[in-house]
Amino acid sequence: MLKTTTPGQPAARPASSPRGHSGVEEEGVLSGDNGNIKSNDVVITAGSDHWSGQVVEAVVCVGSEGGIAVLGGSDNGEFPYLGEISSGVKYQRGGPSLAPGAILLEIQGQKVAGYTQRDVVAWINHCTRNGNPCVIRTAPPGK
């Protein structure tokens, strides 16, 4: 097992640590507090320019004539992101808010970071089969 530490950060405690059975340092765990996200000395206020305040959620149905192109993926060394979205994609909630280039975060509650492009496409096809609605969460691309 490879163990790494960031300069200036404490190493993880051994598995026999009284702080927890996993042996992973618990400091720096993200927690919400009145719309803020805290991590050690960093506080990100909801509504700031942080990407987490710009997450878009849409509920879509993909019919037989519709489709969502997925690009990127871990096999290409990238996060999966949206390509062209055909006019056959019907929005049940979120309006036409999915945009080409947006980074895919979750599909039907499943985090897809680290998925290959093929696995993301397979998961979208599985979730939208028979015209079922599917929740897709995206973040805008970086600048």
On average, the pLDDT of the chain sits at 76
Q: Residue 18 pLDDT > 50, yes or no? A: no
5/34 Cα distance (integer angstroms): 31
Whether 81 shows a pLDDT value over 90: the answer reads yes
Instruction: Find how far residue 2's CA is from the centre of its chain.
Output: 25
SS3 (DSSP) at 91: strand
What is the reported pTM? 0.65
Residue 112 near residue 122, CB atoms below 8 Å: no
- Helix-, strand-, coil-residue percentages of the chain, each rounded to 5: 15, 30, 55
How many other CB atoms are there within 10 angstroms of residue 125's CB atom?
A: 13
Answer whether 114's CB lies under 8 Å from 131's CB.
no
- What domains appear along the chain, each with residue ranges and CATH number? 23-53 (no CATH), 55-139 (2.30.42.10)
Q: What is the pLDDT at residue 47?
A: 57
Please name the amino acid found at residue 54. Q
Q: Does pLDDT of 119 surpass 70?
A: yes
Dump pLDDT digits (tens) for 52-75. Answer: 888 999 999 987 777 899 999 999
